[in-house]
Amino acid sequence: GQQVMQIPQYQHVQEGEDFTTYCNSSTTLSNIQWYKQRPGGHPVFLIQLVKSGEVKKQKRLTFQFGEAKKNSSLHITATQTTDVGTYFCAAIGGGSNYKLTFGKGTLLTVNP
Amino acid sequence: GAGVSQTPSNKVTEKGKYVELRCDPISGHTALYWYRQSLGQGPEFLIYFQGTGAADDSGLPNDRFFAVRPEGSVSTLKIQRTERGDSAVYLCASSSKGPSSYNEQFFGPGTRLTVL
């Protein structure tokens, strides 16, 4: 089945530092979604990327979809303690237009 | 408005017992999904409903797992003869559009299942 690799698994930063998590697939994806899960919480949708090379911004968060639609990244500028949580990419592809395949996530911790 | 709700929030059972996990999706959402999340992992797809029918149950690990959505709203995930390896958080999600449109999924708080 489809697999999505996400790195790094963990990232610890000082408040104010930047953070990036990467998502890679060996197959071309239809689209990719990003979710955030706070400790003890459930995944919450952040954004969806559909077009090749697409870049979207949400305040301090920048999301990119690769030109080949096989990779994506989430970059957070000037992290805050409220950014703590696990960030998951979730891909749709492999002939399905609804089944999300989640990466293992990147756990971000922020030292105040 | 109300989000996706799941009951119970926690379920502790003994190996070999039968359990039912309930999901109430957002009103009007036609698509409903069940996922299983183990510690340190991303959610793993189990089954997808579009309306009342299970459009894709390819993620169910074996025939001990079954899910229904008889009226196209509430769904129940049923696990027979539970095993310790079934211990995980079971997440339900719903979305407002069918498979012809990609759409965000709204997740419930999950049911933490512990099989002793």
CA distance linking residue B40 with residue A4, whole number of Å: 15
Pick B102 or A111 by higher pLDDT: A111
**Rounded mean pLDDT of chain B?**
93
Chain B neighbours among A 1-30 (CB < 8 Å)? 6, 30
- Reply yes or no on whether the pLDDT at A23 is more than 80: yes
A50 CB-contact burial (10 Å; exposed 0-12 / middle 13-18 / buried 19+)? middle
- Reply yes or no on whether the pLDDT at A28 is more than 80: yes
Q: How confident is the model at residue B103 (pLDDT cuts 50, 70, 90)?
A: confident
- Reply yes or no on whether the pLDDT at B13 is more than 80: yes
Residue by residue, DSSP assigns chain A as ---EEEE-SEEEEETT--EEEEEEESS-EEEEEEEEE-TTS--EEEEEE-STT-EEEETTEEEEE-TTSSEEEEEESS--GGG-EEEEEEEEETT-SS--EE---EEEEEE-
In this predicted model, what pLDDT tens digit does every residue of B24-73 receive, in sequence order?
A: 999 989 999 999 999 999 999 999 998 888 889 999 999 999 999 999 89
Contacts of A6 in chain B (CB under 8 A): 42
pLDDT score, position A60: 98
- Reply yes or no on whether the pLDDT at B1 is more than 80: no
The percentage of chain A sitting over the pLDDT mark of 70, rounded to a whole number, equals 96
- Reply yes or no on whether the pLDDT at A8 is more than 70: yes
pLDDT score, position B101: 56
Q: In this complex, do B56 and A98 lie within 8 Å of one another by their Cβ atoms? A: yes
pLDDT score, position B96: 85
Q: Is B43 on the interface with A (CB under 8 A)?
A: yes
Q: Which residue of B has its CA nearest to A92?
A: B102
Q: Is A38 on the interface with B (CB under 8 A)?
A: no
Task: Supply A30's token pair.
Answer: 């239809």
- Reply yes or no on whether the pLDDT at A63 is more than 60: yes
Beta strands A10-14 and A106-111: pairing type? Answer: parallel
Q: Is A96 on the interface with B (CB under 8 A)?
A: yes
pLDDT score, position A2: 73
Give the position of tokens 């029918």. Answer: B53
- Reply yes or no on whether the pLDDT at B99 is more than 60: no
**Rounded mean pLDDT of chain A?**
94
Q: How many CB pairs under 8 A join A and B?
A: 56
Mean local confidence (pLDDT), A28-34: 91
Q: How near does any CA of chain A get to the CA of B92, in Å?
A: 10
